[in-house]
Amino acid sequence: MSRYRVSFFKTLLSSDGHPFKCLQHTIEIDRVGDIDRALKAAKRHYELLRCVPVWTLHADTFEVEIDGKKANHRISYFSAQNA
């Protein structure tokens, strides 16, 4: 079984107007079969922590690490509304 680390980010503007990603929370998931189940569990956990019905109310994007290695599985708010 793999260990998944899902980091949720919010895009903010710096004082000079440049966007940057601000880490909101990192959730570690293990004992799941694949990345899709890990993402579903991490999103649900994040929603419960933030007391929101949809994770995109507090984050714009997330990044996934599998066993300490970055996975090529990024998603933005606009493509995640139904995810």
Q: What is the DSSP letter of 82?
A: T
What is the domain range of residue 52? 4-80
pLDDT tens column, 18-43: 999 999 999 999 988 888 899 999 99
Give the pair of three-digit tokens for residue 14: 């710096």
pTM of the model: 0.81
- DSSP-derived pairing of the beta strands 4-13 and 19-29: antiparallel
Look-up: residue for tokens 């956990």? 45
Q: In the chain, where do the E strands start and end?
A: 4-13, 19-29, 61-66, 69-70, 75-76
Average per-residue pLDDT in the chain?
87
Give the pair of three-digit tokens for residue 31: 């004992």
Domain total in the chain: 1
